[in-house]
Amino acid sequence: MKLSLDYLIREPKIKLDKNPLILLLHGYGSNEADLFSFASELPDDSYVISARAPYDLQYGSYAWYAINFDADENKFSDLEQAKASRNLIAGFIEELIDTYPIDTNNISLLGFSQGAILSYAIALSHPEKIKNVIALSGYANEDIMEPNYQNNDFSQLRIFQSHGTVDQVIPIDWARKTKPFLDKLNIASVYKEYPIGHGISPQIFNDFKNWLLA
């Protein structure tokens, strides 16, 4: 069956009646192969699925939503496209559940940059669908969450957030605001900073993997 997004999959090495899902969401201008390079290192009992964003930027690059630059070089995001991608990914998760024997109580989102921003939006809009979020080099943007999201039950949601102190794409100040924002909602979260730019270091990978296993 053709699902609504193209994706790469690593099947669980240990097959259970129902297996956890780790859904990988790449950043702007990347593709599904990028984060999938981690797949072999992720827990053996999980489906690891890496989705390709819907907007084609050509030359193997894709985006979840447009980022436009104005004359002052201020970046602004296409919020309507971002919301559409939020809904698209939420629907894609349902399609995956219908297609594979996935444990619906153990679904994790692992997003980088734009994929991390959307991971927050999906998890806070639909906390009943998501158990864990690993948000790398992103931040929480309320403008792309469902209306009245703050009335949701976040008691089962856990979030790991990492950011580089010299990130030249998403300012660290934006990331630093996310932990207090999550604390206000009583969402269990861990926030860590690393002396790197806009990327994922081996230390970040080890830290989020240990967090996920714990």
Strand 188-194 relative to strand 158-164, pairing = parallel
Position 100 in a domain:
yes
pLDDT at 73 over 70: no
- What percent of the chain lies above the pLDDT cut of 70? 96
Our count of domains for the chain comes to 1
The mean pLDDT value for 115-136 works out to 98
Position 69 in a domain:
yes
Q: Would you place residue 76 in the very low, low, confident or very high pLDDT band (cuts 50, 70, 90)? A: confident
Number of neighbouring beta carbons within 10 Å of residue 115 = 29
Position 2 in a domain:
no
**pLDDT tens for residues 45-59?**
999 999 999 999 999
Position 13 in a domain:
yes
Position 1 in a domain:
no
Position 27 in a domain:
yes
Domain of 84, in residue numbers: 7-213
**pLDDT tens for residues 86-109?**
999 999 999 999 999 999 999 999
Position 156 in a domain:
yes
Strand 75-77 relative to strand 7-10, pairing = unpaired
| pLDDT at position 104 | 97
**CA separation for the pair 162, 73 (Å, rounded):** 26
**CA separation for the pair 138, 134 (Å, rounded):** 10
Position 146 in a domain:
yes
CATH number of domain containing 131 = 3.40.50.1820
